[in-house]
């Protein structure tokens, strides 16, 4: 460490030295750290001035935890809104911008003071504290094991791998930070005894550690995340939101057929996804290239009439794949064993479609997993990489069987009558339109049976209808209305400033979601299609 940094860390270790430094620090006005709360510094003072003079009453004691500057900015405004709705709110935070690298004592102390100043305007309405200012409690062995699992997820997510080295600096950093957060969360939650704790994500990083601490204590917890659509939020009560548990939604709404309007809406969404077009309040395109047609692709790939399975991969390290293994040790193992099984079966054909999202990642590719499975890919196995200009929806009409881990491609194949084997713990598994093996023996038996009689395994009309119904419920009803999506939060707030959210229009649209965020039962009822 350079001598200057050693001196700075020494200063930071002395009581009140950083507070004295901060009084005259030039960076108070010209903040250049990657850790930025400038949007909050701009928004919060004005939002505080616009708070209602008589907030609602009779609310709950709500604790919110956030780390990483962008989550902290949004959490602070959520805290203010919940205060206006009558809740007593306390926000705890950790001043990190990068979960992968150690942070010097000096920079940490400086960020702590910067965060305190950025949140100062809200101090008259909600309490805020650095979680690290609390003394740690002892971590029980059961909770420590769960926190260790969070560190495993952190490395998988960061490096986009499934096999990790627990001796690596990254794992040791994540384990130390997560343990520290969980130990202090036990103190925080035990002292305050909140009615509910609200946490972004809840699966990875310190957010996952604090979530597990809350559940260990039996404290009700709500986790939340965002999809590609503006003015929507995913939330889960006493569960990790990234597991996308739709059990309650399906129990409430699964037996209700779609209306004509709902059917049109899900058809429009599917047309946009397969046509490489955005849909609704999103700029995302689900395919890179428009469709060229199944027949053209059949000729290009040299396919024939042998039964064909389409295996669609996920992106490694995606939060939606962490901890989703059932009978396989990993997604890579499932792919490898499947490729080897097909390599010995020249009476069949296999297409492996590697997720196009891999073009944006830096981890190992499923292309490498497929190629490593056998010495040389036989001609009846076709590998389509993430950069190949192929529209996945052109592949579906060619398939006799779909093979998926957790990707929604499996749901969309079922919507087309294609039998689908769900090998991972995906949210649509067990809904009545997929094959759901629990062991390797079951998996290979289902493979054999489905490809031996493709026509006999086509989904029945009522199963296809069920898949369409589930797709509508998942894409249109599982997300809840919410004003401030994380991505582009500053612009989101301009569109929905606090007075508008708290006014008649905002309460009509988002009032129920704010209630659900503090633990009121989720109302799985029909919603107006935007």
Which pLDDT does position 53 carry in this prediction?
Answer: 78
The H or E element that residue 448 is part of is helix 440-452
Across the range 405-430, mean pLDDT stands at 97
DSSP state of 433: S
Mean pLDDT score, 306-331: 89
Domain extents for the chain? Answer: 3-50+60-249+480-517, 261-477
What mean pLDDT do residues 447-474 have? 97
Closest CA to 174 of 198, 199, 149, 201: 149
Assigned CATH topology for domain 261-477: Rossmann fold (3.40.50)
Percentage of the chain modeled with pLDDT above 90? 81
The answer, yes or no, to whether residue 27 has pLDDT greater than 90, is no
Query: Is residue 398 pLDDT above 80, yes or no?
Result: yes
The answer to whether the CB of 324 falls within 8 A of the CB of 405 is yes
Supply 119's token pair: 């949140």
pLDDT level of residue 38 (50, 70, 90 thresholds): very high
Instruction: Please say if the pLDDT value at position 127 is more than 80.
Output: yes
Q: Mean of the pLDDT values across residues 118-147?
A: 96
Q: Report, as an integer, the average pLDDT of 175-204.
A: 97
Mean pLDDT of 25-39: 83
What is the overall mean pLDDT for the chain? 93
Q: What is the mean pLDDT of residues 412-423?
A: 98
pLDDT tens, position by position, 61-71: 999 999 999 99
* pLDDT band per the 50, 70, 90 thresholds, residue 3: low
Q: What is the DSSP secondary structure assignment for residue 353, as one 8-state letter?
A: E
Residue 9: pLDDT band (50, 70, 90) is: low
| Residue 488 pLDDT class (50, 70, 90 cuts) | very high
- Given a cut of 90, whether residue 447 has pLDDT beyond it is yes
Average of per-residue pLDDT across 301-328: 90
In this structure, of 75-84, 125-134, 309-318, the range with the lowest mean pLDDT score is 309-318
Stretch 383-399: mean pLDDT: 93
For residues 287 and 392, the answer to whether their CB atoms sit within 8 Å is yes
Q: Is residue 529 pLDDT above 80, yes or no?
A: no
Torsion of CA 153, 155, 157, 162, to 10 degrees: -80
CA dihedral 501, 502, 508, 510 (to 10 degrees): 50
Residue found by looking up tokens 């709360």 in the block: 37
Three-state secondary structure call for residue 491: helix
The values of phi and psi at residue 404, to 5°, are: -140, 160
**Which parts of 120-259 fold into alpha helices (H)?**
141-159, 169-192, 205-217, 247-253
Taking residues 432-442, what's their average pLDDT? Answer: 98
Asked whether 316 and 357 are in contact (CB, 8 A), the reply is no
User: Which residues, at least 6 apart from 201, have a Cβ–Cβ distance to it below 8 Å?
Assistant: 207, 208, 223, 224, 225, 240, 241, 242, 319
Q: Residue 487: pLDDT band by 50, 70, 90 thresholds?
A: very high
Do the Cβ atoms of 510 and 483 come closer than 8 Å? Answer: yes
**pLDDT higher than threshold 80 for residue 260:** yes
Q: Is 299 exposed, middle or buried (0-12, 13-18, 19+ CB in 10 A)?
A: exposed
């Amino acid at each position: 460490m350079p001598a200057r940094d050693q001196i700075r860390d020494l200063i930071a270790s002395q009581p009140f030295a950083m507070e004295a430094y901060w009084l005259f620090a030039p960076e108070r006005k010209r903040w250049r750290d990657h850790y930025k709360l400038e949007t909050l510094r701009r928004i919060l003072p004005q939002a505080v001035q616009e708070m209602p003079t008589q907030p609602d009453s009779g609310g709950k004691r709500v604790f919110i935890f956030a780390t990483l500057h962008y989550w902290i900015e949004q959490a602070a405004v959520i805290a203010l809104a919940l205060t206006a709705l009558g809740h007593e709110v306390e926000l705890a935070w950790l001043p990190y911008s990068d979960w992968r690298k150690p942070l010097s004592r000096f920079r940490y102390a400086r960020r702590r003071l910067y965060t305190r100043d950025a949140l100062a305007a809200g101090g008259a309405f909600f309490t805020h504290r650095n979680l690290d200012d609390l003394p740690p409690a002892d971590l029980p062995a059961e909770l420590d094991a769960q926190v260790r699992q969070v560190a495993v997820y952190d490395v998988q997510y960061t490096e986009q791998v499934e096999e990790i080295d627990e001796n690596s600096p990254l794992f040791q950093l994540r384990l130390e930070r997560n343990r520290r957060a969980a130990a202090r969360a036990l103190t925080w939650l035990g002292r305050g005894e909140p009615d509910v704790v609200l946490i972004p994500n809840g699966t990875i990083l310190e957010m996952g550690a604090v979530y597990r601490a809350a559940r260990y204590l039996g404290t009700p917890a709500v986790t939340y995340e965002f999809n590609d659509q503006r003015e929507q939020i995913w939330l889960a009560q006493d569960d990790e939101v990234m597991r996308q548990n739709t059990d309650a939604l399906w129990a409430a709404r699964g037996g209700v057929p779609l209306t004509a309007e709902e059917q049109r809406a899900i058809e429009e969404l599917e047309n946009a996804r397969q046509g490489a077009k955005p849909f609704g309040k999103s700029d995302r395109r689900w395919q890179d290239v428009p469709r060229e047609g199944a027949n053209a692709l059949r000729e290009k790939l040299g396919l024939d009439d042998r039964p064909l399975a389409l295996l669609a991969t996920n992106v490694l390290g995606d939060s939606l794949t962490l901890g989703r293994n059932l009978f396989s040790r990993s997604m890579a193992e499932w792919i490898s064993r499947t490729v080897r099984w097909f390599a010995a079966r020249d009476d069949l054909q296999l297409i492996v479609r590697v997720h196009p999202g891999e073009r944006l990642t830096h981890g190992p590719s499923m292309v490498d997993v497929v190629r490593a499975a056998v010495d040389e890919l036989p001609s009846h196995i076709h590998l389509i990489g993430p950069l190949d200009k192929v529209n996945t929806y052109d592949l579906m009409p060619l398939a006799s069987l779909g093979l998926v881990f957790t990707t929604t491609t499996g749901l969309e194949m079922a919507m087309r009558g294609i039998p689908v084997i769900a090998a991972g713990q995906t949210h649509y598994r067990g809904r009545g339109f997929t094959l759901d093996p629990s062991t390797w023996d079951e998996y290979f038996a289902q493979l054999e049976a489905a490809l031996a009689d493709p026509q006999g395994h086509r989904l029945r009309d009522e199963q296809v209808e069920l898949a369409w119904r589930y797709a509508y419920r998942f894409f249109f009803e599982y997300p809840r209305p919410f004003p401030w999506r994380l991505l582009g939060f500053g612009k989101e707030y301009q569109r929905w400033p606090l007075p508008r959210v708290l006014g008649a229009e905002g309460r009509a649209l988002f009032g129920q979601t704010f209630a659900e965020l503090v633990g009121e039962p989720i109302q799985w009822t029909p919603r107006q299609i935007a």
